[in-house]
Amino acid sequence: MRLTVKKLAKAYGFLWALKDLDLDLPPGSFVALLGPNGAGKTTLLKLLASLIMPTAGSIEFDGEPISRNAPKSRAQIGFMTPADHLYENLTVEENLRFFSALYKRHHSSSAIGAALEAIGLAPRAGESVGNLSSGMKCRLSIAKWQLLQPGLLLLDEPYGVLDGKGIDLLESFLQAHCAQGNLAIMASHHVSRALKLCNRAIILHQGRMSFDEAKQQPWPSFARAFSEFLPQGESWNS
Amino acid sequence: MELLTQSYLLLQKDLRLELRRRDSLLTMFFFGTLLLFVFHFSFDVAADKMAEMAPALLWLAFLFTGTLGLAQLFQSERENHCLDALLLSPLDRGALFLAKSGFNLLLMILVELVVMPLFWILFNLSSWNLLPQLFLVTLLGTVGFCVLGTIMSAITLRARARELLLPLVLFPLMIPVLLATIRCMETVLKTGTFNDAAPWLRLLFGFDVIFLTLGVLIFDWVIES
C-alpha cells in the first residue's frame, strides 16, 4: 500500500484551502496530521477520501488514481469521523451488515458478533444506533472499519468523544492496521497521543505543509515547528 | 448485475428504515386523502362532468403527494453524513439512483392504490371496470415522476431552501409526463380502450426509458456536484 500525492491543491472560491501539497507514504505509514484550526487538515482528508475534488494535482493509491469514478480504489479508503456515517434507525448489527455488504466483505454472524464483543457492544447489537452515546457510536465506527479493512484509513479527530477504554481500542486497532502494511492518516489536536502512535508527522499551516518528517526521539525540529501553534506561554517538550 | 445487487441492498435498507419511521408513507397517505376531501367539498358537479375532471384532479393529488415523498427521499442520508459514507464506498452511483427511484415508486404506488378507489367512492363514479387500465397508465406516469423527481431531489440536496426549490425545478419538467398521463387517462375513460391513447402511451414510455437511462448515467455527477 503506497500513497502518492502530487501538487495537490483545493480552492474554495478565491480562497486556497490547500496548495502545492506533495506526499509519498510507503507501506505501514502512520501520519499524525497536525496544525491549527483552518489549516486544511479536514480538506486534505476529504480530498484523499475523494469526497471533494481537487482544484489541481493528483492522488494515487497503489499506483491507481483516486477519483470519484474509481470504485476499486474507493473500496480501499476508509474515513472515520467520530459518531458519523452510521444510520441512526438501523440497529448496531444491521449497520455493520449493511456496510460489509456495500464493501463486498461478507462477514459471518460470528465475525460480526466478535467485532461487537471486542468493542463492548455485543449486548446492544439489536439496539438502534440512535440510542447509543457518541462514544459508543465512535466505538461502532472502529468495529466497522475493522471489518471493512481499508488499505488507507483517514481519521478526523477520533479522540474527541472516546473514553479511556475506547482510546485503547482505537489505538490498538490502528497499530494492528499499520503493522499489516496499511496506511493511516490521523488529524488531531491531541498532539501527544497522536505523536505516540505515528511514525511521521505533518504540520499544515494556512493550507501549506510547514513540516514533514519521520519520527525521531528526541525530536527538536518538531518542537521548534510546533511551538508557534501552542497556547501562549507553553512549550513543546519533545 | 452488480448494479441491481447494490440497488437491492440500498432499497432493502430504505424500506427497513421506512418501516421503522413511517415518516414518508404516513405523511403521503394523509396528505393524499386530505386533498381528495378538499376536492370533494370544493367541486359540486355532476358525476359525468367529474369523470372528465378525474384524471387532472387525481394527478394534482399525486403530484403534491409525490413531492412530499421526494422532499424526504434523502433524509436518512442527510443524518450523520450518511451520504458521505455511501459516496466513500465502492457503490455505483447508478445503483443509488435506482434504489431511491424504486423506493419512491413503491411509496407512490401504495398511496395510489388507496387514493384512486377512494376518489371513485367520494365522487360516486361508475367506471369501476376501467380502474385497472387507468392504474396502468398512472403507473407509467408515476415511473416518470419518480425517476425525474429523484434526479431533481439529488440536485437540490445541498440547497438551503430545498423544500421550496424542489417543486419549482421539478414541476415545469414534469409537464410532458403530466400532459401525457392525463390525456391518456381521459381517452381511456371516454373510449374504454387504450387504442386511441397510443401516441400518449408512447410518449410516456419514451420519457420513462430516457430519464431512467439518463439517471443511471449521470447520477454520479448529479450527487457529487
* Cell reading at A134: 457518541
Put simply, the answer to whether B16 touches A94 (Cβ < 8 Å) is yes
> Residue A120: inside a domain, yes or no?
no
Q: How many domains does chain A have?
A: 1
Residues of B with CB under 8 A from a CB of A: 6, 9, 13, 16-17, 20-21, 76, 79-82, 84-92, 220, 224
Of B6, B82, B89, nearest to A87 by CB-CB distance is B82
- Using CA coordinates, name the residue in chain B closest to A79: B88
Q: How far apart are CA B13 and CA B73, in angstroms?
A: 13
pLDDT-based confidence at residue B220 (cuts at 50, 70, 90): confident
Asked if residues A178 and A28 have their Cβ atoms less than 8 Å apart, the reply is yes
Q: Does the pLDDT value for residue A231 go beyond 80?
A: no
CA of A124, closest CA in chain B: separation in Å? 18
- To probe the interface with B, which of A80, A96, A102 has the most B CB atoms within 10 Å? A102
- Residue B142 belongs to what domain range? 2-224
Q: What percent of chain B has pLDDT over 90?
A: 69
Chain A CB contacts of B20 under 8 Å are 89, 128
**What CATH number should be reported for the domain holding residue A1?**
3.40.50.300
Of A50, A85, A102, nearest to B9 by CB-CB distance is A102
Q: Which pLDDT belongs to residue A233?
A: 66
Q: Does the pLDDT value for residue B13 go beyond 80?
A: yes
> Residue A200: inside a domain, yes or no?
yes
Put simply, the answer to whether B85 touches A71 (Cβ < 8 Å) is no
Compute CA B140 distance to the chain's CA centroid, rounded to the nearest angstrom: 10
Can you tell me the ipTM of this complex?
A: 0.88
| Tens digit of each residue's pLDDT (9 = 90 or more) over A131-149 | 999 999 999 999 999 999 9
> Residue A127: inside a domain, yes or no?
no
A95 phi, psi to nearest 5 deg: -60, -45
Q: How far apart are CA A175 and CA A164, in angstroms?
A: 17
> Residue A191: inside a domain, yes or no?
yes
Residue tagged 472516546 (cell numbers): A162
pLDDT-based confidence at residue B225 (cuts at 50, 70, 90): low
- To probe the interface with A, which of B2, B72, B89 has the most A CB atoms within 10 Å? B89
| Tens digit of each residue's pLDDT (9 = 90 or more) over A100-135 | 999 998 888 899 999 999 999 999 999 999 999 999
> Residue A19: inside a domain, yes or no?
yes
- Residue A230 belongs to what domain range? 1-76+182-238
> Residue A198: inside a domain, yes or no?
yes
Q: What percent of chain A has pLDDT over 70?
A: 96
Q: Which pLDDT belongs to residue A125?
A: 92
Q: Which pLDDT belongs to residue B123?
A: 86
Q: Does the pLDDT value for residue A211 go beyond 70?
A: yes
| Tens digit of each residue's pLDDT (9 = 90 or more) over B109-160 | 999 999 999 999 988 888 888 899 999 999 999 999 999 999 999 999 888 8
Q: How far apart are CA A197 and CA B155, in angstroms?
A: 42
Of A74, A90, A128, nearest to B89 by CB-CB distance is A74
Q: What is the pTM of this model?
A: 0.90
| Tens digit of each residue's pLDDT (9 = 90 or more) over A16-72 | 999 999 999 999 999 999 998 889 999 999 999 988 889 999 999 888 888 766 777
Helices (H) and strands (E) in chain A, counts: 8, 10
Q: How many domains does chain B have?
A: 1
- To probe the interface with A, which of B9, B83, B88, B221 has the most A CB atoms within 10 Å? B88
Chain A CB contacts of B91 under 8 Å are 71, 102
Asked if residues A213 and A200 have their Cβ atoms less than 8 Å apart, the reply is yes
* Cell reading at B146: 419518480
Of B17, B87, B89, nearest to A87 by CB-CB distance is B17
Q: Could you tell me which residue, B148 or B75, shows the higher pLDDT?
A: B148
